[in-house]
């Protein structure tokens, strides 16, 4: 009941134009504004500036122009155009050639054909410039649809792309084996969505145990997996298993969100691990931020722990 109320509350905030107007005015107004801790800015130019700072710290990056849950083709096509523009800026700036997209942003709710066409446009330009495109995973109603679109383009020969799995989702262990068999690069996350018990683990211990099992599968059988987590326990387990199996630090990477556990990010770099920062930006930052908080009440505490847990 509390979860449902919390989700409704944050989603109501996300839809409030007056609150969004205030947030847009003050949330990004200065380097110390609350929004800039977790969002790189509202424009591509601001994202490029943040990206250069990250690279100067010896980290890798992936850029995500925010926007999702689009329900008409014009907006989906415009979002795809925005991603093409982002790729042009990434190439011109000479920064790490890696971007992330969500398929609901490209029209998955409009139609599979619309979404596939938009992702094809993005992958085509990205391939011309050696840019890697990560297809993010969303909540369970979209998982199979996402994999179906991905499989279509993988079948067309696009290899400059990969996808993601959530250890919370029960099907992910089978999906991991399938991804490994097809030599698809995977980002492993725990998963922030509130899902039913029939489809996902509910206890943190079960989510963590599944994360470790999938991590081992990806390290042994996968292709350059990415382990996206801020949990020191999961990071230590990954490092220990890789060392036990003689898997070099150049064969995988860690990933974390922009603004979260920056101390842990820096320590991984100092220890010689590859560390990629997920950098979100765009004018849709406020709805994005509110929805992330509303997906699970625990996310509010997660954000606070990310701030105050730094050393």
Identify the pLDDT of residue 228. Answer: 97
d(CA 169, CA 69): 21
Identify the pLDDT of residue 87. Answer: 98
d(CA 133, CA 258): 18
Identify the pLDDT of residue 227. Answer: 98
Q: Whole-model pTM?
A: 0.88
Catalytic residue among 187, 274, 291, 296: 187
> Could you tell me the residue range of the domain that residue 55 belongs to?
2-308
**Domain containing residue 268: CATH number:** 3.20.20.220
Sign, CA torsion 6/293/65/134:
negative
> Could you give the 3-state DSSP secondary structure of residue 136?
coil
Identify the pLDDT of residue 120. Answer: 98
Identify the pLDDT of residue 194. Answer: 84
d(CA 239, CA 233): 10
What is the residue whose two structure tokens read 């971007």? 99
Q: Mean pLDDT in runs of 10 for the chain (311 residues)? A: 47 49 52 69 93 97 90 96 98 97 96 98 98 96 98 98 98 98 98 92 96 98 97 97 98 94 96 97 76 58 60 56
Catalytic residue among 77, 96, 136, 208: 136
- Picking from 203, 210, 269, the residue whose alpha carbon sits closest to that of residue 54 is 269
Count of domains in the chain? 1
Active site (annotated) includes residue 187:
yes
């Amino acid at each position: 009941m509390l979860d449902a109320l919390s989700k409704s509350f944050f989603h109501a905030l996300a839809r409030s134009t007056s609150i969004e107007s205030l947030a847009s005015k003050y949330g990004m107004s200065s380097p110390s504004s609350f929004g800039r801790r977790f969002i790189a800015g509202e424009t591509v130019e601001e994202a490029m500036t943040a990206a250069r700072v990250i690279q100067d710290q010896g980290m890798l990056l992936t850029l995500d122009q925010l926007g999702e849950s689009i329900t008409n083709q014009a907006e989906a096509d415009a979002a795809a155009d925005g991603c093409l523009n982002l790729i042009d800026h990434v190439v011109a700036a000479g920064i790490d050639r890696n971007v992330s997209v969500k398929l609901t942003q490209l029209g998955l709710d409009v139609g599979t054909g619309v979404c596939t066409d938009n992702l094809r446009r993005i992958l085509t330009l990205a391939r011309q410039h050696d840019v890697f495109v990560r297809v993010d995973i969303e909540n369970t109603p979209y998982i199979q649809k996402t994999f179906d679109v991905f499989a279509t383009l993988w079948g067309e020969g696009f290899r400059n792309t990969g996808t993601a799995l959530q250890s919370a989702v029960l099907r992910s262990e089978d999906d991991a084996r399938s991804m490994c068999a097809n030599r698809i690069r995977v980002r492993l996350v725990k998963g922030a969505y509130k899902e039913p018990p029939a489809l996902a683990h509910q206890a943190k211990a079960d989510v963590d145990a599944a994360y470790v099992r999938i991590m081992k599968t990806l390290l042994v059988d996968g292709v350059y997996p990415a382990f996206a987590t801020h949990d020191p326990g999961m990071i230590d387990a990954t490092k220990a298993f890789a060392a036990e199996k003689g898997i070099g630090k150049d064969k995988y990477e860690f990933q974390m969100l922009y603004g979260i556990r920056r101390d842990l990010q820096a320590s991984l770099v100092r220890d010689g691990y590859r560390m990629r920062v997920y950098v979100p930006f765009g004018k849709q930052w406020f709805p994005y931020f509110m929805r992330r908080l509303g997906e699970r009440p625990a996310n509010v505490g997660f954000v606070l722990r990310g701030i105050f847990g730094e050393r």
